[in-house]
Structure 1
Amino acid sequence: MISVLFAVLTAISNGSASVLQRRAAATAPDSDAMRLSLIGHLLRKPVWLAGIGLVMVAAVCQAVALATGPIAVVQPIFVIELPMTLLIASYAFHSRLPRATWYGVAAVTVGLAVGLGSAAPTGGSETVEDLSWIPALIVTGLFEALLIAVALRTRKNTRAALLGLAAACAYALTAALLKDAVARLEGGSGVTAFFSSWQLYATAVAGIGALFLLQNALQAGSLVASQPMLTLGDALISITYGVTLFGESVRTGWWLLPELIAIALITAGCIELARSPLASGTSPPKPRAR
């Protein structure tokens, strides 16, 4: 229960951060794409710095969630970050969400419930043997390199989608490394083992890489292109890490049918929600006086 609560808090913080970061990244020139100058441009934007503050809050909440629950349960809950953000934004802007947006909220919520109920992730170990990380890191590195190489040959929304998936993969890796590092806090020499583990510092490197890829995805195209890839990619790749690295188990067989239906619902819901002006970092138009 604690893991679910902190996963929800992480989703709220991350979703809000994405909206703020998208608002700042959209003002960056195309010439800054995949360059460190993009970060320099964003550092001068207070709205982006506010988003980074929320990212830090999310990191703490995520660490608690991963320390108390399986990665295959915690990470998929993050698909609710966009619906939660829109609900908060609509309250802040004193505006009503259109009916289509509510349908999107319902689709994501139902999809998450159906997906977790069908997959029913269970079991798994708290830590990973160091040697098991080698093939995982190699495959992840090759996958990331392929996505970035193809993205650099494309433009606009196609690039945003590919970089969004690359960011999702990096965030999923960050979560897996973080879970492995936090698990080392247990025991008499937990603090020493935690700060001496390579996983902790690899978490920081992967997290910075994920943040860099996300900024480029948000700068390249619309939120409609990047958000579904980011949301679903993070969930599905995290489940893969949970199964292959931590030995967690999910249902297969005929359970794949409702799981695919859940993915379709979440995808459709994310696309609809990402079209909202609130998700793009702008307030909806006010109704005209009659």
Structure 2
Amino acid sequence: MISVLFAVLTAISNGSASVLQRRAASTVPDSDALHLSLIRHLLRQRVWLAGIGLVIVAAICQAIALATGAIAVVQPIFVIELPVTLLIASYVFRSRLPGSAWLGVAAVTSGLALGLGAASPGGGTETVDPIAWVPALIITLGVEVVLIGAAQRVRGNPRAALFGLAAAVGYALTAALLKDAVSRIEDGAGVVALLSAWQLYATAVAGIGALFLLQNALQAGSLVASQPMLTLGDALISITYGVTLFGENVRTGWWLVPELIGVALITAGCLELARSPLASGTAPPKPRVR
């Protein structure tokens, strides 16, 4: 499937971008959190700009994936971004992944396969009734306000986790808006209809906001705290948007048991993988030659 292929390419680009951005954001002082000075500091770092380049590549691949597949199928695939990135990083740094990291890779991939297989998402419409966006946007904004407010009251990893979840909400909203926007082309209305759709510009606003929240998550604490919230939050919230806005279907009933097992496996795998030095954008120390 074209949508699955481009979803995988999106995951690779996003995962690599997160590592580069984490490496840059970790040098920003706490006083710059939630200030424009955070972005000014990052703009001076080439590694962060490289990460932004990969974000742009990911956005293009994601648009193609969403235009050709259901959001409840495409977005959950992005949970593989961390294991794929670690595999690439281990090759680049010529460092073997420890056995625990391989277990993490196996947990994430098997959890994704189990969860998607049990949920069997699909169906739905390509566009959203404009009226349906009103309560969706109001609820999303309310959730973001609560998460950001809570994040400002704590420090360290709890703050990173809350900002990571807030970024996940933003990215899930971005995906839903993007899918609704690109459907204008699918309807045969052409590029002009796409450029005149408010969803396209709302996608840009939501995406920039999510990116800003992600930088704060990466700056606030470790990847172990932010990555699972970002990865799982994006997948689960996107499925919610798919079901409520696009009318997509997922299996419930006793199927929830294997679905929850899949989520648990993905969570455990992400926590294990996020502990790796490679995930933080640093190469592990090489053994001394005697």
Q: Please tell me the TM-score bracket, short chain as reference.
A: over 0.9
Distance 1:188 1:199 in 2: 17
Q: Match of 1:148?
A: 148
Unmatched 5+ residue regions in structure 1? Answer: none
Q: Which amino acid aligns with 2:130?
A: D
The equivalences for 1:239-258 within 5 A come to: 239-258=239-258
Report whether the alignment pairs 1:214 with 2:177.
Answer: no
Distance 2:251 2:187 in 1: 32
- Measured after TM superposition, the shift of residue 289 of structure 1 is 3.7
- Measured after TM superposition, the shift of residue 189 of structure 1 is 2.8
Q: Match of 2:44?
A: 44
Q: Match of 2:11?
A: 11
Q: Match of 1:56?
A: 56
- Measured after TM superposition, the shift of residue 193 of structure 1 is 1.0
Report whether the alignment pairs 1:66 with 2:66.
Answer: yes
Q: Match of 2:265?
A: 265
TM-score, structure 2 as length reference: 0.99
Q: Match of 1:103?
A: 103
Question: Secondary structure in 1 aligned to 2:218?
Answer: helix
| Structure 1 stretches of at least 4 aligned residues deviating more than 4 Å after TM superposition | none
Distance 1:187 1:138 in 2: 27
Distance 2:258 2:16 in 1: 30
Distance 2:113 2:140 in 1: 28
TM-score, structure 1 as length reference: 0.99
Report whether the alignment pairs 1:137 with 2:130.
Answer: no
Distance 2:100 2:137 in 1: 40
Report whether the alignment pairs 1:122 with 2:122.
Answer: yes
Distance 1:76 1:267 in 2: 13
- Measured after TM superposition, the shift of residue 188 of structure 1 is 4.1
- Measured after TM superposition, the shift of residue 239 of structure 1 is 0.1
- Measured after TM superposition, the shift of residue 288 of structure 1 is 3.6
Q: Match of 2:225?
A: 225
Identity %: 80
**Number of residue pairs aligned between Structure 1 and Structure 2:** 290
- Measured after TM superposition, the shift of residue 183 of structure 1 is 0.4
Distance 1:154 1:32 in 2: 15
Q: Match of 1:201?
A: 201
- Measured after TM superposition, the shift of residue 285 of structure 1 is 1.4
Distance 2:62 2:193 in 1: 20
Q: Match of 1:165?
A: 165
Distance 1:92 1:187 in 2: 43
Distance 2:176 2:250 in 1: 17
- Measured after TM superposition, the shift of residue 192 of structure 1 is 1.4
Unmatched 5+ residue regions in structure 2? Answer: none
Q: Match of 1:190?
A: 190
Distance 1:12 1:73 in 2: 17
| Bigger mean CA deviation after superposition, 270-279 or 188-197 | 188-197
Q: Which amino acid aligns with 1:137?
A: L
Distance 2:173 2:188 in 1: 27
Residue deviations 1:154-213 (CA, integer Å, cap 9, x gap) = 001000000000000000000000000000012443211100000000000000000000
Q: Which amino acid aligns with 1:233?
A: G
Q: Which amino acid aligns with 2:18?
A: S
RMSD: 0.7
Q: Match of 2:282?
A: 282
